[in-house]
């Protein structure tokens, strides 16, 4: 099976250049995608950077772009479906957009919005990003306007959101087949204090029954929106619960494979329910042991 681990796809879409450390990290994670192949089948994976060490059996990793592939992390033609502006538009249609969230297309527009809304903390995100890259945090009227101007010049717009005190992050993975949307349940997104991705826990998050129903309803609406646009394939929806106890059911739509899909595939093959990065807990199965990153399943 030939797999294209194009983890750098959002950077390609936004015109960003990833540094060597990031390329090494995503190259080291590429062998995890072998979980999508039938057990025992030899797998060839193409990634932006070849890993220093491979622990997964029957896997070969090449640096570069394959001529043909059987599966890709992201369809390179799926750029419009991964645009944060699409998720914001759907949030507005569903009446669940965060107060003050909007598309910003200039520094002057940002300053006018800040004058009007007077937020305490906020963030501007590029339309296409991954792993908390390409975003600028602000406090009141204070902001790194030079960096935001660079994002605007490169991407044409940013998405402004209030920064909220999150209690926990969640996600739903699914697949679009024509007009059919299949969902695989709700998982917990492990994140650092700045919202950066830190892993996946398939154990049910501490949602109420009503909250769970709402998350699945919104995820199904997101899948239906992708289907109407002509997208087919894997997708996920990110959401979170924030203080005092409020649900934001649509943070972004990822029209591609995500580590939620990977974790479910790994769990089906090896058992376990939690994919993490960094020092593994006792008893964890180490899947990637590379100078750039350690990944484990517990």
Residue 244 CA, distance from chain mean position: 25
Q: Please report, for residues 90, 101, 260, the alpha-carbon distance to residue 255 in angstroms, rounded to integers and kept in the order given.
A: 14, 21, 13
- Of the pLDDT bands very low, low, confident and very high (cuts 50, 70, 90), residue 144 is very high
| Mean per-residue pLDDT over the chain, rounded | 94
Q: Phi first, then psi: what are they for 249, rounded to 5°?
A: -85, -5
Both 182 and 251 in one domain: the answer is: yes
Both 109 and 48 in one domain: the answer is: no
Both 184 and 124 in one domain: the answer is: no
Q: Domain ends where: 139, 162, 185?
A: 162
pLDDT at 278: 87
Both 243 and 143 in one domain: the answer is: no
pLDDT at 167: 93
Domain count, the chain: 3
**Helix 107-117 and helix 145-155, axial crossing angle in degrees, nearest 10:** 120
Helix (H) or strand (E) holding 23: helix 20-29
Both 242 and 170 in one domain: the answer is: yes
Beta bridge partners of 239: 170
Both 85 and 189 in one domain: the answer is: yes
Full residue range of the structural domain in which residue 244 is found: 79-95+165-256
| CA distance linking residue 217 with residue 224, whole number of Å | 11
| CA distance linking residue 4 with residue 72, whole number of Å | 5
Both 199 and 251 in one domain: the answer is: yes
Neighbours of 41 (CB within 10 A): 9
pLDDT tens per residue, range 163-201: 999 999 999 999 999 999 999 999 999 876 665 678 999
Both 176 and 225 in one domain: the answer is: yes
- Of the pLDDT bands very low, low, confident and very high (cuts 50, 70, 90), residue 92 is very high
| CA distance linking residue 191 with residue 66, whole number of Å | 32
Instruction: Return the CATH number at 235.
Output: 3.30.470.20
The pTM for the full model equals 0.94
- Of the pLDDT bands very low, low, confident and very high (cuts 50, 70, 90), residue 9 is very high
| CA distance linking residue 207 with residue 189, whole number of Å | 13
pLDDT at 132: 73
Average pLDDT over residues 117-139: 91
Both 90 and 169 in one domain: the answer is: yes
Q: Phi first, then psi: what are they for 75, rounded to 5°?
A: -65, 120
Average pLDDT over residues 24-45: 93
Answer for the pair 250, 239: CB distance below 8 angstroms, yes or no: yes
Average pLDDT over residues 216-230: 98
Both 115 and 231 in one domain: the answer is: no
**Is 70 exceeded by the pLDDT of residue 15?**
yes
Omega cis (within 30) before 124: no
Q: Domain ends where: 110, 139, 162?
A: 162
Three-class DSSP category at 256: coil
Q: Domain ends where: 226, 241, 256?
A: 256
| CA distance linking residue 27 with residue 284, whole number of Å | 22
The closest of 216, 224, 214 to 178, measured between CA atoms, is: 224
Neighbours of 156 (CB within 10 A): 13
Both 171 and 230 in one domain: the answer is: yes
Any alpha helices (H) in 156-234, and if so which ranges? 209-228
Both 113 and 220 in one domain: the answer is: no
């Amino acid at each position: 099976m030939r797999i294209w681990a194009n983890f750098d796809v959002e950077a390609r879409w936004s015109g960003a250049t990833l540094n060597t450390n990031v390329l090494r990290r995503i190259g080291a994670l590429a062998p995890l995608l072998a979980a999508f192949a039938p057990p025992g089948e030899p797998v060839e994976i193409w990634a932006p950077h070849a890993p220093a060490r491979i622990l997964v059996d029957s896997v070969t990793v090449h640096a570069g772009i394959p001529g043909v592939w059987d599966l890709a992390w992201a369809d390179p033609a799926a750029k419009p479906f991964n645009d944060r502006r699409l998720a914001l538009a759907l949030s507005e249609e569903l009446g669940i957009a965060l107060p003050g969230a909007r598309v910003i297309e200039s520094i002057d527009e940002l300053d006018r919005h800040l004058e009007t809304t007077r937020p305490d903390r906020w963030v501007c995100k590029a339309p296409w990003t991954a792993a908390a890259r390409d975003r600028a945090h602000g406090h009141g009227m204070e902001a790194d306007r030079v960096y935001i101007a660079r994002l605007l010049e490169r991407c044409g717009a940013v998405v402004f959101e209030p920064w909220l005190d999150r209690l926990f992050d969640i996600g739903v993975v699914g697949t679009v087949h024509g007009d059919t949307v299949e969902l695989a349940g709700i998982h917990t997104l492990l994140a650092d204090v700045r919202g950066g991705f830190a892993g996946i826990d398939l154990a049910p998050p501490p949602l109420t029954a009503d909250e769970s129903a709402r998350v699945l309803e919104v995820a199904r609406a997101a899948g239906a929106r992708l289907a109407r646009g002509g997208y087919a394939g894997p997708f996920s929806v990110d959401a979170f619960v924030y203080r005092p106890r409020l649900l934001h059911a649509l943070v972004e739509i990822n029209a591609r494979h995500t580590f939620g899909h990977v974790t479910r595939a790994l769990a089906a093959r090896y058992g376990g329910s939690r994919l993490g990065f960094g020092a593994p807990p006792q008893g964890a199965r180490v899947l990637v042991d590379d100078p750039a990153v350690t990944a484990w399943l517990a």
